[in-house]
Structure 1
Amino acid sequence: MLFEIVSFLLDVVVGLISGASLLRMYMQAQRVPFSNPVGQLVFALSDWIVLPLRKVMSSKGRWDMLSLLAALLLQFVEVLLVWLLLGAKGALLALPWLALCGLVKVALSGMMGILLVYAILSWVQPYSPIYGVLQRLSDPLVAPIRKFVPLIGNVDFSALIGLIALQVLLMVLNYVQAAGLMVIAQSSL
């Protein structure tokens, strides 16, 4: 039971900080200003790991690859700590794979959170100050869906369909992760 508690708390903390790092990268790519409360929270959660990386390397272009690297490093440290807590022997090859799968899960879960809050605000309070930020972050996913799904009774279901698609992707990722672990486990025997 103690292992599950520690693992859960570690997953929450690492998921929150790596999610903030990924959101930092995504907000920069979408050119969302960081002067809003979400941007300030993202900076507060991710500055401690991203800024030291900027001293060592530089990031150029639209995508902040150092924020991605920070999120991946955090996921790897989480997987390594869980591996050490379990006292596992061998299967070190699985750690980078698990970290990468964890990173993709955080990205998909974060996008699901953005879409969920965006959908709720669009139905309840579309004039909220945070609505514009969420709209800019969710538009790359829902804009293509809107081309195929018309408004039904003046209600936009594109965010709901996006949520369903992301959930399906999470299911596929879980299957791919398990299959990859099986291959790694069989090759280490």
Structure 2
Amino acid sequence: MLNNAILFLLQAVLSILTFAFLLRFYLQLTKAPFQNQLAQLIVTVTNFAVKPLRRVLPSIGKIDLSTLVLAYLTQLVLSICSLWLKGFPILIAGHTVWVVIFGVALIGIVSISLSIFLYAVLIQAILSWVNPHTPIAPVLNSLTYPVLRIFRKYIPPAGSFDLSPLAFIITAQLLLTTILIPLENNLLSTL
């Protein structure tokens, strides 16, 4: 029972931390404005690890490798600790187990990345109806524009309604439920 509580806390903390690292990565990649409270919160929460790693691992152009590597390492630690707390003998397992663990961590990064954009599009759509001039709107616009631009090429507006957020939400959910989650389950079933 104590293992379950520790596992829950570990999953909650490391998932939130991975989310924060990836959100910072995508905010920097899309050149979102950092003058609002959400962006400042993400920077404050992640600076403890990003600043020291940037000294060792510099950015390559627009790509901030330190935040991306930290997100992956956080998912990797989560995968290893989850298996260990569930009683899996990681230390005596073979090499194929480590390939599976690295794969599960990578799938976790892709899933959380997709979730970031999914939530951003959903929040942006809701705020556009309720309060389109909220202080977080520029951040959401910067974050979602590259993704929604792809959908806007193929889906014209229906009158004054932009249907691209709905198409993205459906596509993202479809990718999560038909590809990423089954792939992760298949990898974990090989252990």
Q: Normalised by the size of structure 2, how large is the TM-score?
A: 0.88
Matched, 1:133 2:150: no
| Structure 1 contact 26–63 (Cα < 8 Å) conserved | no
Deviates more, 1:17-26 or 1:62-71: 17-26
By how many angstroms is 1:2 displaced? 4.7
Q: Deviations over 1:90-144 (max 9, x none)?
A: 2343221111111111111111111110111112211112112101110111112
Q: How does 1:170-185 map to 2 (within 5 A)?
A: 170-171=176-177, 172-182=179-189, 184-185=190-191
User: Which of the residues 125, 128, 135 maps onto 1:119?
Assistant: 125
| CA–CA separation in structure 1 for the residues paired with 2:17 and 2:25 | 13
Distance 2:20 2:27 in 1: 10
Cα offset for 1:3?
Answer: 4.1
Alpha-carbon RMSD: 1.8
Q: Which amino acid aligns with 2:151?
A: I
Counterpart CA distance in 1 for 2:188 and 2:82 is 16
- Percent of pairs with identical residues: 35
Indicate the SS of the match to 2:63: coil
How far, CA to CA, are the matches of 1:111 and 1:10 in structure 2?
A: 24
Moved over 6 A (4+): none
Residue 44 of structure 1: aligned partner: 44
What is the 5 A alignment of 1:1-189? 2-89=2-89, 90=93, 91-171=97-177, 172-182=179-189, 184-185=190-191
CA distance in 2, matches of 1:149, 1:58: 39
Mapped contact 2:104–2:187 kept (Cα < 8 A)? no
Q: Which amino acid aligns with 1:176?
A: L
Moved more, 53-62 or 161-170: 53-62
Q: Point out where structure 2 has 5 or more consecutive residues left out of the alignment.
A: none
The separation in 2 between residues aligned to 1:155 and 1:12, in whole angstroms, is: 37
Query: Which amino acid in 2 is paired with 1:120?
Result: I
Structure 2 residue identity aligned to 1:180:
L
Report the CA distance between 1:7 and its aligned residue. Answer: 2.8
Which stretch shows the higher mean deviation, 146-155 or 66-75? 146-155
Count the aligned residue pairs.
Answer: 184
**CA apart distance, 1:149:** 2.0
Cα distance in 1 for residues equivalent to 2:180 and 2:164: 22
Alignment partners' CA distance in 1, 2:187 and 2:118? 24
Q: Which amino acid aligns with 2:70?
A: A
Secondary structure at the aligned position of 1:93 is classed as helix
Alpha-carbon contact 2:33-2:138 (below 8 Å) kept: no
Q: Verify the 8 A CA contact 1:75 1:103 in the aligned structure 2.
A: yes
Distance 1:92 1:29, change over 3 A: closer
The one-character-per-residue Cα deviations of 1:48-76 (angstroms, maximum 9, x if unpaired) are 11112112222231010110000001111
Matches of 1:173 and 1:163, distance apart in 2: 15
For 1:82 and 1:178, how far apart are their aligned partners in 2? 14
TM-score normalised by length of structure 1 = 0.88
